[in-house]
Chains A and B, each alone.
Chain A
Amino acid sequence: MMQIDCPWCGKRDENEFVCGGTTHIERPPLGASDTIWGEYLFFRENPKGMHFERWRHASGCGQWFNVARSTITHDIVSVYAMTDPAPR
Chain B
Amino acid sequence: MTSLRLPPPFGTRIDRSRAIGFQFNGRSYRGLQGDSLASALIANDVRLVGRSFKLHRPRGIFSCGVEEPTGLVDVGEGPRRTPNLRATLVEIHEGLVAASVNCWPSVGFDLGAINDLFRAVLPAGFYYKTFMWPDWHLFEPWIRRAAGLGRASGLPDPDHYEEVSAAADVLVVGAGIAGLSCAVAAAEAGASTMLLAASATLGGGLEWTQDPEIDSLVAAARRLGVRILTRTLAFGVFDHQLLCAVESLSPIYEGTQRTKGVLRERLWKIRAGKIVAATGAFERPVVFPDNDRPGVMLAGAAEKYARAYGVACGQRVVITANCDAAYAVAHSLRAAGVEIAAIVERRPASDVGAAADGLRVLGEAAIASVAGTRAVRGCTVVSLSGGARSEKIDCDLILSAGGYAPAVHLHSQAGGKLRWLDEAAMFVPDGAAPGLISVGACAGAFDRALAASHGADVGRALARGLAPPAAPVGGLGRSLAGTYLPSLKGKQFIDLQNDVATSDVRLAALENYRSVEHLKRYTTTGMGTDQGKTSNVNALVLMGEITGRDPALVGTTKFRPPFAPVTLGMLVGRRVGPLYRPLKRLPAAAWHEAHGALFEQFGNWVRPAAYPRAGETLEAAAQREAGAVRRGAGLFDGSPLGKIEIFGPDAAQFLDLMYVGTMSNLRVGQARYGLLLNENGIVVDDGIAARLGEQHYWINTTSAGVERTAAAFEEWLQCEYTRLKVLVTPVTARWGNVTVAGPRAWDWLASVGFESDLSPARMKHMSLRESRWEGVPLRVLRASFSGELGFEVNLPADHVEPLLERLWARADEFSGVLYGIEALEIMRTEKGYVHIGTDTDGTTLPGDIGFGRAIQRKAANFVGRRSLLRPAAEDPDRFQLVGLVPADGRTQLPVGAQIADVPPPTLTQGHVTSSYWSPELKSPVALAMLSRGSQRLGDRVRAHYLGTTIEAIVVKTPFIDPSGERLHG
What does the 1/0 interface line of B353-381 toward A look like (CB < 8 Å)?
00000000000000000000000000000
B141 contacts A by Cβ under 8 Å: no
Are A41 and B680 touching (Cβ within 8 A)?
Answer: yes
Q: How far is the CB of B519 from chain A (nearest CB, A)?
A: 26
Are B866 and A58 touching (Cβ within 8 A)?
Answer: no
B969 contacts A by Cβ under 8 Å: no
Q: Which residues of A in the span 1-30 have a Cβ within 8 Å of any Cβ on B?
A: 1-3, 13-14, 18, 20, 23, 27-30
Q: How far is the CB of B645 from chain A (nearest CB, A)?
A: 15
Are A41 and B867 touching (Cβ within 8 A)?
Answer: yes
Q: How far is the CB of A63 from chain B (nearest CB, A)?
A: 7
Are B239 and A54 touching (Cβ within 8 A)?
Answer: no
Q: How far is the CA of A63 from the CA of B861 in the complex (A)?
A: 24
Q: Which residues of B in the span 859-876 have a Cβ within 8 Å of any Cβ on A?
A: 861, 865-867, 869-871
Q: Known contacts being A30-B865, A41-B680, A62-B714, is A2 close to B239, with CB within 8 Å?
A: yes
Residues from chain B with a CB closer than 8 A to the CB of A74 are: 239-240
Are B715 and A3 touching (Cβ within 8 A)?
Answer: no
Q: How far is the CB of B866 from chain A (nearest CB, A)?
A: 5
Q: Which residues of B in the span 813-867 have a Cβ within 8 Å of any Cβ on A?
A: 861, 865-867
B238 contacts A by Cβ under 8 Å: yes
A50 contacts B by Cβ under 8 Å: no
Residues from chain B with a CB closer than 8 A to the CB of A34 are: 869-871
Are A14 and B866 touching (Cβ within 8 A)?
Answer: no
Chain B residue, CB-CB nearest to A42: B680
Choice from A3, A29, A73 contacting B434 with Cβ under 8 Å: A73
Residues from chain A with a CB closer than 8 A to the CB of B711 are: 18, 56, 58
B722 contacts A by Cβ under 8 Å: yes
Residues from chain B with a CB closer than 8 A to the CB of A32 are: 866
Residues from chain A with a CB closer than 8 A to the CB of B715 are: 20, 56, 64
Q: How far is the CA of A20 from the CA of B719 in the complex (A)?
A: 10
Chain B residue, CB-CB nearest to A3: B240
Chain A residue, CB-CB nearest to B718: A64
Chain B residue, CB-CB nearest to A64: B718
Are B861 and A37 touching (Cβ within 8 A)?
Answer: no
Residues from chain A with a CB closer than 8 A to the CB of B714 are: 56, 62, 64
Q: How far is the CA of A68 from the CA of B657 in the complex (A)?
A: 30
Are B719 and A54 touching (Cβ within 8 A)?
Answer: yes
Are B718 and A82 touching (Cβ within 8 A)?
Answer: yes
Are A30 and B866 touching (Cβ within 8 A)?
Answer: yes
Q: Known contacts being A37-B866, A37-B867, A37-B870, is A1 close to B242, with CB within 8 Å?
A: yes
Residues from chain A with a CB closer than 8 A to the CB of B770 are: none
What does the 1/0 interface line of B145-172 toward A look like (CB < 8 Å)?
0000000000000000000010000000
Chain A residue, CB-CB nearest to B863: A27
Are B861 and A73 touching (Cβ within 8 A)?
Answer: no
Residues from chain B with a CB closer than 8 A to the CB of A13 are: 165, 271
Q: How far is the CA of A73 from the CA of B414 in the complex (A)?
A: 10
Are A30 and B680 touching (Cβ within 8 A)?
Answer: no
Residues from chain A with a CB closer than 8 A to the CB of B965 are: none
Residues from chain A with a CB closer than 8 A to the CB of B269 are: 1
B939 contacts A by Cβ under 8 Å: no
Residues from chain B with a CB closer than 8 A to the CB of A75 are: 434
Interface size of A as a range: 20 to 34
Residues from chain A with a CB closer than 8 A to the CB of B679 are: 41
B720 contacts A by Cβ under 8 Å: yes
Are B242 and A82 touching (Cβ within 8 A)?
Answer: no
B415 contacts A by Cβ under 8 Å: yes
Residues from chain A with a CB closer than 8 A to the CB of B871 are: 34
Chain B residue, CB-CB nearest to A37: B866
Q: How far is the CB of A26 from chain B (nearest CB, A)?
A: 8
Q: How far is the CA of A86 from the CA of B65 in the complex (A)?
A: 51
Q: Which residues of B in the span 457-506 have a Cβ within 8 Å of any Cβ on A?
A: none
What does the 1/0 interface line of B654-685 toward A look like (CB < 8 Å)?
00000000000000000000000001100000
Interface SS, A side? loop
Are A82 and B870 touching (Cβ within 8 A)?
Answer: no
Q: How far is the CA of A73 from the CA of B269 in the complex (A)?
A: 20
Q: How far is the CA of A29 from the CA of B867 in the complex (A)?
A: 12
Q: How far is the CA of A32 from the CA of B680 in the complex (A)?
A: 15
What does the 1/0 interface line of B705-727 toward A look like (CB < 8 Å)?
00000010011001110100000
Q: Known contacts being A14-B239, A41-B680, is A28 close to B719, with CB within 8 Å?
A: no
Residues from chain B with a CB closer than 8 A to the CB of A62 are: 714
Q: How far is the CB of B741 from chain A (nearest CB, A)?
A: 35
Q: How far is the CA of A29 from the CA of B870 in the complex (A)?
A: 14
Q: How far is the CA of A2 from the CA of B867 in the complex (A)?
A: 35
Q: How far is the CB of A79 from chain B (nearest CB, A)?
A: 13
Q: Which residues of A in the span 56-81 have a Cβ within 8 Å of any Cβ on B?
A: 56, 58, 62-64, 73-76
Residues from chain A with a CB closer than 8 A to the CB of B720 are: 27
Q: How far is the CB of A27 from chain B (nearest CB, A)?
A: 6
Are A1 and B238 touching (Cβ within 8 A)?
Answer: yes
Chain A residue, CB-CB nearest to B730: A62
Are A82 and B415 touching (Cβ within 8 A)?
Answer: no
Residues from chain B with a CB closer than 8 A to the CB of A63 are: 718
Chain B residue, CB-CB nearest to A72: B415
Q: How far is the CA of A20 from the CA of B680 in the complex (A)?
A: 16
Residues from chain A with a CB closer than 8 A to the CB of B415 are: 73
What does the 1/0 interface line of B266-293 toward A look like (CB < 8 Å)?
0001010000000000000000000000
Q: How far is the CB of A46 from chain B (nearest CB, A)?
A: 19
Q: Known contacts being A73-B415, A82-B722, A83-B722, is A29 close to B861, with CB within 8 Å?
A: yes
Chain A residue, CB-CB nearest to B860: A30
Q: How far is the CA of A55 from the CA of B714 in the complex (A)?
A: 12
Q: Which residues of B in the span 864-897 have a Cβ within 8 Å of any Cβ on A?
A: 865-867, 869-871
Q: How far is the CA of A18 from the CA of B238 in the complex (A)?
A: 19
Choice from A2, A18, A20, A28 contacting B866 with Cβ under 8 Å: A28
Chain B residue, CB-CB nearest to A26: B720
Are A64 and B861 touching (Cβ within 8 A)?
Answer: no
Chain B residue, CB-CB nearest to A14: B239
Q: How far is the CA of A83 from the CA of B720 in the complex (A)?
A: 9
Q: Which residues of B in the span 241-284 have a Cβ within 8 Å of any Cβ on A?
A: 242, 269, 271
Q: Which one of B239, B714, B861, B869 has the highest number of Cβ atoms from chain A below 10 Å of its Cβ?
A: B239
Q: How far is the CA of A30 from the CA of B242 in the complex (A)?
A: 46
Are B242 and A3 touching (Cβ within 8 A)?
Answer: yes
Q: Known contacts being A34-B871, A41-B679, is A2 close to B240, with CB within 8 Å?
A: yes
Residues from chain B with a CB closer than 8 A to the CB of A83 are: 722
Chain A residue, CB-CB nearest to B165: A13
Q: How far is the CA of A83 from the CA of B718 in the complex (A)?
A: 9
Chain B residue, CB-CB nearest to A36: B866
Q: How far is the CA of A2 from the CA of B241 in the complex (A)?
A: 8
Q: Which one of B240, B711, B867 has the highest number of Cβ atoms from chain A below 10 Å of its Cβ?
A: B240
What does the 1/0 interface line of B927-940 toward A look like (CB < 8 Å)?
00000000000000
Residues from chain B with a CB closer than 8 A to the CB of A82 are: 718-719, 722
Residues from chain B with a CB closer than 8 A to the CB of A64 are: 714-715, 718-719
Residues from chain A with a CB closer than 8 A to the CB of B865 are: 30
Q: How far is the CA of A84 from the CA of B672 in the complex (A)?
A: 37
Q: How far is the CB of A62 from chain B (nearest CB, A)?
A: 6
Q: How far is the CA of A1 from the CA of B861 in the complex (A)?
A: 39
Residues from chain B with a CB closer than 8 A to the CB of A18 are: 711
Q: How far is the CA of A62 from the CA of B715 in the complex (A)?
A: 10
Q: How far is the CA of A54 from the CA of B867 in the complex (A)?
A: 23
22 cross-chain CB contacts under 8 A? A1-B239, A1-B242, A1-B269, A2-B240, A14-B239, A20-B715, A23-B719, A30-B861, A30-B865, A30-B866, A34-B870, A37-B866, A37-B870, A41-B680, A56-B714, A62-B714, A64-B714, A64-B718, A73-B434, A74-B239, A75-B434, A82-B718
B residues with a Cβ closer than 8 A to A are 165, 238-240, 242, 269, 271, 415, 434, 679-680, 711, 714-715, 718-720, 722, 861, 865-867, 869-871
User: 3 tightest A-B contacts by CB?
Assistant: A64-B718, A2-B239, A3-B240
A residues with a Cβ closer than 8 A to B are 1-3, 13-14, 18, 20, 23, 27-30, 32, 34, 37, 41, 54, 56, 58, 62-64, 73-76, 82-83
Additional A-B contact list (6), CB under 8 Å, known A1-B242, A37-B866, A82-B719: A14-B239, A18-B711, A34-B869, A34-B871, A73-B415, A75-B434
